[in-house]
Amino acid sequence: MVKVSVIMPVYNGEDFLVESIDCILNQTLTDLELICVDDGSVDNSLKILNEIADKDSRVQVYHQENRGGGAARNVAITHATGEYLYCMDADDMIELNALEELYDVATEKDVDFVVFQAMNYDDELDKYYHNDYYDMNELADFVGDRIFSHEDLGEYIFKMSVTPWCKFYNLDFVKRSGAQFAEGLIFHDNIFYWDILFCAERIYFYRKFLYTRRRHITSSTGAGDKRYVSTITINNMIIQKFMNHGQFDKYKKKLYNRKMYMVYRRYSEVQDQYKEFFYTEMKKDFTKILTHERYEEFLDNVFSKNKQRFDDVVNSKDFSEFEKLYKVHELNETPESEGGLGNKLSSSIKKLFK
C-alpha cells in the first residue's frame, strides 16, 4: 500500500498535461501512485500518458470512451490502493511539498479529510489572483484549529469549496461513504462533496495555499457552452442529497434560493448561441415545480427577487419574451462586487450568500 493515491481525469489535456503530472511525480513525498484515466481524448493526451507511464512505474493509465470527468474519477477511485486519496486536475498545479504536508496533517489529526486553500491563475493574462470561494477565509476563521463535522458548521457548510482538489481524503473513508461523482455532467464534484461532507465525522482546515487552479478557455467549467445546462440537474441532485441525509428542512431556504441563483448565474455565463436551449430546459424544470407537492413551501422560502425570476421563466411564452424580461429585471440591477450574476445581483440575493 502506498501512502497517497493521486487520481487524474484527462480529456484533451495535451497543452498542460506534462506540467500537471510533473507536479505530482516530483513531490517530496515519493510513496505515491498516479492513476490517470483518459476520457476519450482526441488529441495527444493518451500518447503523452503512455510515454510517461513507460518511464515511471508509479503511473497507471486507463482509457475509456468519453463519459465525462465524473465517470473518469469514479473509475480511478476503484483502482486506488493508497492510505489517502488526492484528486488532481490535468491542467492545474500543486506545490511540490503539498502531499507530504497534507499526509502529515491528516495522519497527525486522524481525520476523514483535510481542506486547504487554492490560488487562481489566468492563463491568458498570466496573472495570479485570489477569490473568496477558494480562499475560504470565513470558514477558516470560524473553525480555527478545531476538528469539526458538518454539524458544527451550520450555514458555513456553504462556505467550503466543493472542489475535490482542495481536499485530501482518507481513502477508506471515501470508499465506506459510497460517495461518487455525477457522471455525464459538468459541475459533477458537487454531488461527491455533499455525500462526503455529511458522512465525515472528523474534518480539519489546513490554512495554507497549496494548489493553483488554472483558468483557460478550454476548461469545462469556463467554456460557457451547452453543457452549462447541467447546473439544473446538479442543483436538483444537491437538494436530493440534503433530503437523503436528513438535512433538507434545516437548509431548505438556502437551497431553494441557491438553486435560483445558480441557474440564473449559469444562464448569464452561457454563450449566446446556447441561451435558447438553456431557457427551454430551465422552463421544463421550473414548470415541474408548479405542480410539485412542495410548491407552496418553495414560494414561502424564496426571496421576492427569485420569485420574480421563477415567474419570468414559467410565464414567458417563448425565448424572445423571456430575454426581454431578463434584460429588464437582471441587467438593470445595481452592480454588486463578488459573487454576482454577471456582477449584477440584487442585494437580497447577495445577503443570502454572505
d(CA 251, CA 59): 42
Specify the pLDDT at position 353. 34
Tens digit of each residue's pLDDT (9 = 90 or more) over 185-205: 999 999 999 999 999 999 999
Which residue type is seen at 6? V
d(CA 26, CA 201): 32
Rounded to whole angstroms, the Cα distance separating 92 from 263 reads: 26
Length of the chain: 354
Closest-CA residue to 194 (of 163, 148, 229)? 163
Look at 100-109, 252-261, 345-354 and tell me which has the smallest mean pLDDT: 345-354
Looking at residues 64-68, what average pLDDT do you find?
Answer: 96
For residue 26, what is its C-alpha cell?
A: 516530483
Q: What is the mean pLDDT of the chain?
A: 92
- Is a pLDDT exceeding 80 seen at residue 222? no
Bridge partner list, 115? 167, 205
169 pLDDT more than 70: yes
Higher pLDDT, 335 or 176: 176
State the DSSP string of 124-157: TTTEEE--HHHH-HHHHHHHTT--B-GGGTGGGG
Could you give the count of Cα atoms lying within 13 Å of 326 in the half-sphere of its Cβ?
A: 18
Give the integer Cα–Cα distance in Å for 334 and 105. 44
pLDDT at 218 over 80: no
pLDDT of residue 299 exceeding 60: yes
Q: How, if at all, do strands 59-64 and 32-39 pair?
A: parallel
3-state secondary structure of 212: strand
Cell numbers placing 153: 458548521
pLDDT at 219: 56
Whether 336 has a pLDDT exceeding 60, the answer reads: no
What's the pLDDT at 253? 97
User: Cell digits for 224?
Assistant: 460557457
Cβ-contact 69, 42 below 8 angstroms: no
**pLDDT score of 43 more than 80:** yes
Partners of residue 159 on adjacent β-strands: none
304 CB-contact burial (10 Å; exposed 0-12 / middle 13-18 / buried 19+)? exposed
Other beta carbons within 10 angstroms of residue 57's beta carbon come to 8
More confident residue, 90 or 215: 90
* Per-residue pLDDT at 85 exceeds 50: yes
Contact (Cβ atoms closer than 8 angstroms) between residue 106 and residue 200: no
**Has residue 333 got a pLDDT over 80?**
no
Model pLDDT, residue 354: 34
On the question of pLDDT at 259 being above 60, the answer is: yes
| pLDDT tens, position by position, 338-349 | 333 434 333 333
Q: Taking the chain, what is the end-to-end CA distance rounded to the nearest angstrom?
A: 43
C-alpha cell at 127: 496573472
Q: What is the pLDDT of residue 220?
A: 52
Average pLDDT score over residue span 309-324: 97
| C-alpha closest to that of 211 among 18, 7, 4, 24 | 24
pLDDT at 331: 76
Helices (H), the chain: 17-25, 45-55, 69-79, 98-109, 132-135, 137-143, 171-177, 189-199, 230-244, 248-269, 275-290, 295-301, 304-315, 319-329, 347-352
Question: What pLDDT is recorded for position 192?
Answer: 98
Mean pLDDT of the region 15-33: 98
| pLDDT tens for each residue of 98-127 | 999 999 999 999 999 999 999 999 988 999
Domains of the chain (ranges; CATH) run 4-215 (3.90.550.10), 226-352 (no CATH)
Q: Binning pLDDT at 50, 70 and 90, where does residue 215 land?
A: confident
> What radius of gyration do the chain's Cα atoms show?
21
pLDDT at 264 over 70: yes
Q: Is the pLDDT of residue 332 over 80?
A: no
What is the spatial distance between Cα 270 and Cα 276, in angstroms, rounded to a whole number?
10
Contact 353, 347 (CB under 8 A): no
